[in-house]
Amino acid sequence: MSDVAASSTAPRASRLTGRLKLALWIFVVLAALPPLAHMAGEPFLVVIATRMMVFAIAALSLDLILGYGAMVSFGHAAYLGIGAYAVAILTQAGITDLTLHLAAGIGASAVFAAVTGAISLRTRGVYFIMITLAFGQMAFFFFVSFSALGGDDGVALQARSTLMGAPLLQGAQGLFYVTLILLIAVFAGLYRLTGSRFGRVLTGTRENALRMQAVGFRPFSYQLTAYVIAGCVCSVAGVLLANQAVYVSPAYMSWHRAGELIVMVVLGGVGTLSGALAGALATVALEEGLARFSEHWRLGFGLVLVLVALFSPGGISGLLRRLNIGRGDR
């Protein structure tokens, strides 16, 4: 019996190691980027990489509900805006500490997600997509009409957040490493969550909600909890985005931005956290790279998405997994 148990757990352990390998390599490369960019005389690469990591946090949060819970939300960018506006509102009130900004953004997002999620999750399929889109647009137009914060034009921040009173985020490298630490913390937390009993129930609900209900679980409570967690995590990205751009705008929470987050998850691989991480980094990198060659860069980006959809439905993570299997077979 012990031999059978050992043989059954070995493949599972190897699969878990394989899933983490891509993420670990990404974190190592990111950690080494600032000194390499300095030596290469390209300090702007640090700014681009910071933006990549901000959207990686947002993509990871969306993958929790999209990849593991099969909840296609077109209003997820609302939490990006809520986190960003938490920074703007508190900064105007004279509160500049990053931890307080994060707490305010997470708290506001938790309330918004709990209320809207409780309503949205009573629908299914295209109706769920439309109602999340409606709630996202409601948040968007609320801040558009918020004239005290610039309305549609947004508002520029006087300075970035402080950390325990120290201006650690004022420099590009300080903001980079704080963002990297938060990205690693978010990935580790979601990895543990999706591998826990909660994550397995959420995945089972994705596969067959009626069957999970028949064995004694309440899918609604698990889905709502995941929905709130995803909103809170996305608000962390919003707080960092406001600091990275030193500017806050309602455009952060438009449905176009929500669509971009979905593209990041799909490009990387739905239902794999390492895929969402890689997809976000690849999306921002492609946008920045293609924009240097042509103002019509979206045409080239669309072609990349078509090729991925045709030849690698599992996204980047699926492609890497197949290549790894191919090496093993040979």
Give the tens place of pLDDT for each residue, 217-253.
888 999 999 999 999 999 999 999 999 999 999 999 9
Q: Which among 298, 312, 222 is positioned nearest to 270, based on CA atoms?
A: 312
Give the tens place of pLDDT for each residue, 117-151.
999 999 988 999 999 999 999 999 999 998 888 88
> In the predicted model, what is the mean pLDDT of residues 28-42?
90
pTM score, whole prediction: 0.90
User: 97 falls in which pLDDT band (50, 70, 90)?
Assistant: very high
Whole-angstrom Cα distance, residue 265 to residue 278? Answer: 9
pLDDT at 17: 58
Using alpha carbons, list the distances in angstroms from residue 145 to 19, 24, 114, 248. 44, 43, 24, 14
pLDDT at 167: 87
pLDDT at 122: 92
Across 19-33, 100-114, 299-313, which has the greatest mean pLDDT?
A: 100-114
Domains located in the chain, CATH noted: 19-329 (1.10.3470)
Give the tens place of pLDDT for each residue, 168-200.
888 889 999 999 999 999 999 999 999 999 999
Q: What is the 3-state secondary structure (H, E, C) of the chain?
A: CHHHHHHHHHHHHHHHHHHHHHHHHHHHHHHHHHHHHHHHCCCHHHHHHHHHHHHHHHHHHHHHHHCCCCCCCCCCHHHHHHHHHHHHHHHHCCCCEHHHHHHHHHHHHHHHHHHHHHHHCCCCCHHHHHHHHHHHHHHHHHHHCCHHHCHHHCEECCCCCEECCECCCCCHHHHHHHHHHHHHHHHHHHHHHHHCHHHHHHHHHHHCHHHHHHCCCCHHHHHHHHHHHHHHHHHHHHHHHHHHHCEECHHHHCHHHHHHHHHHHHHHCCCCHHHHHHHHHHHHHHHHHHHCCCCCHHHHHHHHHHHHHHHCCCHHHHHHHHHHHHHHHC
Mean pLDDT, the chain, whole residue set:
87
pLDDT at 3: 44
Whole-angstrom Cα distance, residue 113 to residue 108? Answer: 9
> In the predicted model, what is the mean pLDDT of residues 16-44?
85
